[in-house]
Amino acid sequence: MSVIIDQVIRSRRKTIAIIIHHDGKVFVRAPIKAPQRLILAFVDSKSDWINEKKKQALQHPVLPVRRFVDGESFLVLGKEIQLRVVENQKIALTLGTEFCISQIALPQARKVFENWYRAYAMKIINDRVEYFSRQHGFRYEKIRITSARTRWGSCSSRGTLSFTWRLVMAPLEIVDYVVIHELAHIRIKNHSPIFWAEVARLMPAYKQSKDWLKKNGRILTLDSDG
């Protein structure tokens, strides 16, 4: 069965990657100079996998549109936190027992939430990376918080660890799994059996977290389309 590519995104990357969006659209990330015939051949070779992933994606209901109104819930470390719109609050968004957003900030509510999640992600993820690094003797270069939609984390050849801010919507054990996954890449740069053995040594029950992320990752978003 042939595959329709919805968009090809070229960048300085070295390999071709296929991303299946939550609405079933197919995005291909490719090197700037990769010939179109090479891209098409690669996609064709993965057609069975792509069509299965598209089928799985379309089985999920569309996420509701965010309205940023009183009573709407937002995930923080796996917990549903309700939002309250308040007047006369100097800080755009605060978190106590509930999120409180200033009425003045409502026109930029999505950006305000993203900024909050970014700052929170840096705090939480930095703490977890430091904890596991001390515990297992890892040395990394630095931590970056990104806006990645389909990649929870990455580890550069120089040891820079990158994590999407969306990750802190998940329960802490899921955050820990992604942190451990990327720390393991400091020592092993691929996904060979040796790599997964290292992950298992660091987190024996990692498969549960990996499966949770595969099943529930689409809800870790502020967007209706994931």
Determine the Cα–Cα distance for residues 21 and 23; give it in Å rounded to an integer.
5
* Domain match, 113 and 160 both: yes
224 is a domain residue? no
Using the CB atoms, write b or e for 202-217: b if 16+ within 10 Å: bbeebeebbebbeeeb
Split into its structural domains, the chain has a count of 2
Task: Note the pLDDT of residue 25.
Answer: 85
User: pLDDT tens digit string along 157-209?
Assistant: 999 999 999 999 999 999 999 999 999 999 999 999 999 999 999 999 999 99
Using CB atoms within 10 Å of the CB of residue 158, give its burial: 0 to 12 exposed, 13 to 18 middle, 19+ buried. Answer: exposed
Stretch among 5-14, 30-39, 136-145 having the lowest mean pLDDT: 5-14
User: pLDDT tens digit string along 66-111?
Assistant: 899 999 999 999 999 999 999 989 999 999 999 999 999 999 999 9
65 is a domain residue? no
* CATH assignment at residue 210: 3.30.2010.10
* Domain match, 39 and 133 both: no
**Domain range holding 105?**
73-219
* Domain match, 199 and 98 both: yes
